[in-house]
Amino acid sequence: MAETFEIAGGAYEDVEFVGGTSTQAVIVTPIRTKPSGIYIEVRVLKSAFEKNGASVVNAAALGWADIFETLAKQPHVGGVQWGQQQAGGQVEDVAIITVVSSSGASSDSLTVPVNALGPKLDETAIAALAKKLNELEAL
């Protein structure tokens, strides 16, 4: 929706591995969240897109925009970006979270697979890293 994300480029077809040699066709749509402007590549099954149209992409984009914007608003979070990393011979989507100390004088990053974020969006790991940064500054 216009208030939570905007399309950031043309959609394209791709293939995702779902285990072993099995694949599924997907439609990838790049978006930028609002207000933070976080770039995300939203994937939906091609078959769902063909059956239900753009509403499937819109629903997925709304969900991802909400998750990433919520991450960006957490205490000690200085920034969030979407990315990908190798995992078990496959590529997985990740959130790269920049965590800052209470003073803002130091920072470090935390990389979390998006499918492992869970309902608390890794607030415990973020708080633990911020605590570590604060302790290092106090030395």
Alpha carbon distance 32, 44 (integer Å): 17
Q: Report how far apart the first and last C-alpha atoms of the chain are (Å, whole number).
A: 47
Residue of 4, 56, 54 lying closest to 31 (CA atoms): 4
pLDDT in the model for residue 27: 97
Supply 46's token pair: 């091609």
pLDDT in tens, 28-59: 999 999 999 999 999 999 999 999 999 999 99
Alpha-carbon gap, residue 9 to 5, rounded angstroms: 12
Question: Which residue ranges make up each domain of the chain?
Answer: 1-70, 74-139
> Residues near 40 by Cβ (< 8 Å), separated by ≥ 6?
30, 31, 32, 33, 61, 64, 65, 68, 82
With vertex at residue 29, the alpha carbon angle to CA 28 and CA 34, rounded to the nearest 5 degrees, is 145
Q: What is the pLDDT of residue 122?
A: 79
